[in-house]
């Protein structure tokens, strides 16, 4: 329970609300006839703060008996929006629900609880969630006993929680990114009180270990750190995810070893900025390069990581990645813009030149490396010339693929109040030109593979053709080929015969690939 949010009226717009009671445990209010129990609400000012308070790691998170039967005979659905961090949080949410006795369903009519794990990174991500809430309102009318919850990054935003309180009073539960482990308590509270329960901590964040996870598929995600301290001027993440805090190396390594033991073929180490791993340790000198070096020795075939910040990508890490083995030759290195002036306004803390120098250094150390990136067009005030610099950087690096976005203002971030004189048509046109350039280089990088043999981790039957299997190369390229479904989950060698922009095709062969062939 947060004791931080004392002066509610200061931060929160309770217009139209009647206060029913208030004490140190929170506040009960009524809005439009709906009673709401606010245990704690988002507080943007606190989300911005980065104090000296050290990170606490909680290990004792065993669910007690009283919670284990709440969901017996009941069903759940969790809808996930946004990034891999959210996907992974959903695995924890599902793990907790299953410990409470709930079982998964895909049928909304059968569900006793539906949770929306939301993303706040761009406005269209939020629009999708509000659209979905509109659909779920009908279901809630038919099934009033069903619990409907909103969690994830949107619930950390004051404006979103206000909007739900005022206009979507049929929601039963709102909890934040720091409150996932509290889910059993919050469900219990919502079921018994029949009130809407809101608990969103803005605190700098603990690390909660040993929560259950319901993992699916061949690829396992492992959080190595949480939060972000970079405060890029366009980005909401430092507010919604709290300060940078790293999991202890022994906990990460134990989890990776356990996944290896369970037969996972690939893991992805997750963090908003994995290169800052370990910066917050006060008692040990142990950084991301050291972690990768230790994980390199674990018997798991492929190890990926996301996402990197160019600023913290140090030489030791490059040296370790160059060892290869299970450390694959794929680096996602978000650049955001090719113009040093725009990068400065974004507060990225590197220049076009230093980014290119880093990319060349990595290429020299890992010659067959595949780079992917994130790029924003139409940042406030971006000129044609500055956009051209982004295009020329794309050509110079020759990315294998990229996620590209039109800048979306996020309330409370510094960029949201910058003057923006770039019309939307210009932004859209820039996005199209950028995508055309990215596609050209994706195709070129695929074409270079023609005739070569690649190692593919077989993921399943191809989405568009039952007769084909699909899988990924070490560089994360999608490959389609004919083969038996028995091969799902194993590694095969595929000789590439045909290439497209988004995928490559080939024939399975028997002879083994050598490490240097493996791309």
Question: Which residues lie near ligand SF4 (CB under 6 A)?
Answer: 228, 230-232, 235, 237-238, 272-273, 309
Task: Round to whole Å and give the CA distance between 444 and 327.
Answer: 24
What residues contact 62, with CB distance under 8 A and at least 6 apart? 210
Q: Does 431 sit near ligand 5AD (CB under 6 A)?
A: no
In the complex, the smallest distance separating the C-beta of residue 155 from ligand SF4, rounded to whole angstroms, is 18
**263-322 binders of ligand 5AD (CB under 6 A):** none
- What mask of x and - would describe binding to ligand 5AD in positions 228 to 247, judged by CB under 6 A? ------xx------------
In the complex, the smallest distance separating the C-beta of residue 366 from ligand 5AD, rounded to whole angstroms, is 22
> Nearer to ligand 5AD by C-beta: 76 or 350?
350
Considering only 308, 336, 372, 401, the residue that binds ligand 5AD (CB under 6 A) is 336
Tell me 54's DSSP state: P
**Maximum distance among all Cα pairs of the chain, rounded to whole angstroms:** 73
In the complex, the smallest distance separating the C-beta of residue 376 from ligand 5AD, rounded to whole angstroms, is 5
Task: Round to whole Å and give the CA distance between 8 and 21.
Answer: 13
Q: Does 335 sit near ligand 5AD (CB under 6 A)?
A: no
In the complex, the smallest distance separating the C-beta of residue 273 from ligand SF4, rounded to whole angstroms, is 5
> Nearer to ligand SF4 by C-beta: 228 or 359?
228
Q: Does 12 sit near ligand 5AD (CB under 6 A)?
A: no
Task: Round to whole Å and give the CA distance between 387 and 377.
Answer: 7
- Residue owning tokens 């911005």: 48
Which one of ligand SF4, ligand 5AD, none is in contact with 281 (Cβ closer than 5 to 8 A by kind)? none
Residue 151 annotated as binding site: no
Considering only 221, 407, 441, 481, the residue that binds ligand 5AD (CB under 6 A) is 407
Which one of ligand SF4, ligand 5AD, none is in contact with 472 (Cβ closer than 5 to 8 A by kind)? none
Q: Which stretch binds ligand 5AD (CB under 6 A): 9-17, 145-153, 187-195, 401-409?
A: 401-409
Which one of ligand 5AD, ligand SF4, none is in contact with 130 (Cβ closer than 5 to 8 A by kind)? none
Q: Does 122 sit near ligand 5AD (CB under 6 A)?
A: yes
Site for ligand 5AD (CB under 6 A): how many residues? 12
Task: Round to whole Å and give the CA distance between 309 and 326.
Answer: 22
Which one of ligand 5AD, ligand SF4, none is in contact with 119 (Cβ closer than 5 to 8 A by kind)? none
Q: Does 420 sit near ligand 5AD (CB under 6 A)?
A: no
* Token pair belonging to 45: 């000012």
CA atoms in the 13 A half-sphere facing the CB of 298: 24
Contact 190, 168 (CB under 8 A): no
> Nearer to ligand SF4 by C-beta: 225 or 256?
225
Q: Does 376 sit near ligand 5AD (CB under 6 A)?
A: yes
Residues in the chain: 519
The strand pairing partners of 150, in sequence order, are 116, 174
Q: Does 458 sit near ligand 5AD (CB under 6 A)?
A: no
Strand ranges in 41-124 using DSSP code E only, listed in sequence order: 57-58, 75-80, 103-104, 113-118
In the complex, the smallest distance separating the C-beta of residue 330 from ligand 5AD, rounded to whole angstroms, is 16
For residue 147, CA distances in Å to 92, 113, 199 come to: 18, 5, 15
Q: Does 176 sit near ligand 5AD (CB under 6 A)?
A: no
In the complex, the smallest distance separating the C-beta of residue 360 from ligand SF4, rounded to whole angstroms, is 22
In the complex, the smallest distance separating the C-beta of residue 279 from ligand 5AD, rounded to whole angstroms, is 20
> In whole angstroms, how large is the CA radius of gyration of the chain?
24
* Token pair belonging to 429: 């046109």
Among 437, 362, 449, 348, CA closest to 399: 437
What separation, in Å, do the N-terminal and C-terminal C-alpha atoms of the chain show?
A: 50
Tell me 25's DSSP state: T
For residue 283, CA distances in Å to 120, 279, 280 come to: 34, 11, 9
Task: Round to whole Å and give the CA distance between 248 and 371.
Answer: 29
Which one of ligand SF4, ligand 5AD, none is in contact with 228 (Cβ closer than 5 to 8 A by kind)? ligand SF4
Sign of CA dihedral 271, 275, 281, 287: positive
Residues that bind ligand 5AD (CB under 6 A): 121-122, 234-235, 334, 336, 374, 376, 405, 407-408, 410
């Amino acid at each position: 329970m947060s004791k931080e949010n004392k002066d509610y009226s200061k931060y929160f717009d309770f217009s139209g609300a009647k206060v029913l009671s208030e004490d140190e445990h929170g506040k009960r209010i009524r809005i439009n006839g709906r009673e709401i129990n606010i245990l704690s609400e988002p507080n943007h000012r606190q989300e911005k703060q980065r104090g000296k308070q050290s990170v606490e790691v909680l290990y004792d998170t065993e669910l007690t008996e009283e919670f284990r039967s709440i969901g017996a005979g009941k069903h759940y659905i969790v809808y996930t929006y946004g990034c891999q961090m959210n996907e992974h949080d959903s695995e924890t949410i599902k793990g907790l629900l299953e410990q409470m006795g709930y079982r998964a369903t895909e049928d909304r009519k059968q569900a006793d609880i539906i949770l929306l794990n939301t993303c706040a990174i761009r406005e269209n991500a939020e629009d999708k969630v509000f659209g979905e809430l509109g659909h779920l309102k009908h279901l809630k009318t038919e099934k009033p006993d069903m619990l409907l919850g909103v969690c994830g990054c949107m619930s950390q935003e004051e404006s979103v929680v206000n909007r739900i309180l005022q206009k979507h009073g049929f929601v039963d539960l709102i909890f934040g990114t720091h409150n996932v482990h509290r889910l059993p308590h919050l469900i219990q509270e919502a079921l018994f009180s029949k009130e809407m329960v809101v608990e969103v901590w803005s605190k700098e964040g603990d690390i909660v270990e040993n929560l259950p996870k319901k993992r699916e598929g061949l690829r396992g995600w492992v959080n190595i750190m949480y939060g972000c301290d970079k405060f890029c001027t366009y980005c909401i993440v430092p507010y919604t995810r709290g300060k940078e805090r790293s999991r202890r190396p022994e906990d990460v390594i134990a989890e990776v070893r356990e996944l290896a033991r369970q037969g996972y073929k690939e893991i992805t180490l997750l963090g908003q900025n994995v290169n800052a791993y370990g910066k917050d340790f006060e008692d040990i000198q142990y950084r991301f390069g050291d972690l990768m070096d230790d994980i390199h020795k674990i018997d798991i075939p492929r190890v990926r990581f996301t996402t990197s910040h160019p600023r913290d990508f140090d030489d030791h890490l490059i040296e370790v990645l160059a060892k290869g083995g299970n450390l694959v030759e794929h680096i996602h290195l978000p650049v955001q813009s090719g113009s040093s002036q725009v990068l400065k306004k974004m507060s990225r803390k590197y220049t076009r030149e230093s980014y290119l120098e880093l990319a060349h250094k990595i290429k020299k150390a890992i010659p067959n490396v595949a780079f992917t990136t994130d790029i924003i067009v139409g940042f406030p005030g971006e000129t044609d010339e500055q956009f051209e610099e982004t295009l020329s950087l794309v050509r110079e690096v020759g990315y294998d693929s990229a996620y590209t976005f039109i800048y979306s203002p996020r309330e409370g971030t510094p960029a949201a109040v910058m003057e923006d004189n770039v019309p939307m048509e210009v932004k859209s046109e820039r996005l199209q030109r950028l995508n055309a350039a990215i596609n050209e280089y994706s195709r070129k990088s695929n074409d270079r593979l023609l005739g070569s043999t690649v190692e593919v981790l077989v993921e399943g039957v191809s989405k568009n053709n039952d007769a084909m299997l699909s899988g990924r190369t070490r560089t994360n390229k999608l490959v389609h080929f004919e083969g038996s479904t028995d091969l799902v989950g194993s590694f095969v060698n595929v000789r590439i015969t045909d290439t497209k922009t988004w995928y490559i095709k080939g024939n399975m062969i028997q002879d083994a690939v050598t490490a240097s062939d493996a791309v």
